[in-house]
């Protein structure tokens, strides 16, 4: 599908600087642009590429002032925030690729399940007893929905997602391939012979509206009650969230984060990749955690933390400078000891 610069400017409430009839049929990074592609420039580090790009249209900030001649084939669309506007276009482009309503065969839908309007259900999907699915939901091939699962409107479950029985998924939720929601929490108790006996996990997982979960994540059901992923949370690929964890609104975590059981993560928390968070603690709203950090205890007030065990990131950096100097300090101590022995002999 083709769009002209004039049409795109209308969508973004921008101004055309160049040929309003210039058209595009795809999106590209500014350094990889070619004829018929649309790019954007917001980071000054990439400005050099705009003078050589092959893109037909580029979205820029209204404040952008070229330092040299632009390609004659390039039309600019000036907007208040180029990055935000390009993100909006990506969202529009992505929505155009939604699956058409259809229930592919073979798939299994239990007769007690209810499905709203305009569904897409891919081949080999399994929908269990008393499942409730809202409107405009997309369920890709090989998705498994256990008994009593609820899926809200406009949600997307990509291929091979498994939602165990009794779990609840809100509106506008996206779950990427291979993720498992509601698997058993890691609950065992040793008996008198030190043999681990499984503690039944009878709770569920509740995922609220506007959540996105990456591929190959695991979110465990609660032992009792619910594991919560609150409104607007964003979870990257390969994350593990244990039983009875509560991740509050608009928190984001990068890949390979692990959160142990019953931890409570506040609102607007940012968690870097490969961070490990111990169980039964609370992390204050607005906390930022640098990648590969370890959080062993409660964080009572918002801070930027780094290291394992994590401390204030500025303190960590100062401590690390000292750590790097340890070989030099040890050699000096050894030299002082040698000199002291010589003086003692004299």
How many Cα atoms within 13 Å fall on the side-chain side of residue 225? 8
Catalytic residue at 243? Answer: yes
Catalytic residue among 243, 280, 282, 313: 243
Distance (Å) of CA 287 to CA 50, 85, 191, 232: 37, 28, 39, 16
Distance (Å) of CA 296 to CA 282, 299, 303: 10, 9, 15
Those residues with Cβ within 8 angstroms of residue 201's Cβ, 6 or more apart along the chain or in another chain: 184, 185, 187, 220, 221, 222, 223, 243
Backbone angles phi, psi at 305, to 5 degrees: -110, 150
- Give CA–CA dist 8/51, Å, rounded: 22
How many Cα atoms within 13 Å fall on the side-chain side of residue 131? 26
- Give CA–CA dist 133/177, Å, rounded: 19
- Give CA–CA dist 7/69, Å, rounded: 25
Which string of b and e fits 109-144 if b means at least 16 CB within 10 Å?
beeebebeeebbbbebbbbbeebbbbebbbbbebbb
Active site residue ranges: 243
């Amino acid at each position: 599908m083709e769009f002209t610069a004039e049409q795109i400017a209308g969508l973004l409430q921008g101004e055309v600087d160049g040929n309003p009839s210039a058209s595009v049929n795809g999106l590209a990074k500014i350094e990889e642009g070619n004829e018929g592609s649309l790019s954007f420039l917001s980071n000054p580090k990439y400005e050099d590429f705009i003078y050589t790009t092959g893109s037909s249209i580029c979205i820029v900030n209204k404040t952008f002032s070229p330092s040299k001649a632009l390609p004659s084939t390039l039309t600019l669309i000036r907007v208040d925030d180029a990055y935000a506007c390009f993100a909006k276009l990506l969202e529009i482009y992505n929505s155009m690729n939604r699956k058409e309503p259809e229930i592919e065969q073979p798939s299994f839908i239990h007769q007690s399940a209810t499905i709203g309007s305009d569904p897409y259900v891919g081949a080999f999907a399994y929908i269990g007893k008393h499942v409730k699915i809202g409107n405009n939901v997309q369920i890709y091939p090989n998705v498994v929905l256990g008994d009593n699962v609820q899926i809200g409107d406009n949600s997307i479950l990509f291929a091979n997602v498994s939602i165990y029985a009794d779990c609840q998924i809100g509106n506008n939720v996206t779950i990427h391939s291979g993720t498992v929601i509601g698997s058993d929490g890691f609950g065992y108790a040793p008996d008198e012979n030190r043999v681990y006996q499984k503690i039944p996990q009878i709770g569920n997982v509740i995922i609220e509206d506007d959540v996105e979960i990456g591929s190959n994540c695991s979110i465990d059901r609660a032992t009792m009650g619910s594991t919560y992923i609150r409104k607007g949370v964003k979870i990257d690929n390969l994350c593990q969230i244990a039983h009875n964890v509560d991740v509050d609104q608009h928190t984001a975590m990068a890949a390979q984060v692990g959160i142990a059981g019953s931890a409570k993560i506040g609102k607007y928390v940012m968690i870097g990749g490969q961070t490990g968070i111990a169980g039964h603690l609370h992390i204050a709203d607005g906390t930022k955690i640098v990648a590969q950090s370890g959080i062993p205890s409660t964080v009572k007030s918002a801070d930027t933390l780094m290291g394992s065990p994590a401390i204030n990131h500025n303190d960590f950096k100062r401590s690390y400078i000292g750590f790097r100097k340890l070989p030099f300090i040890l050699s000096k101590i050894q030299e002082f000891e040698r000199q002291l022995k010589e003086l003692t002999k004299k």
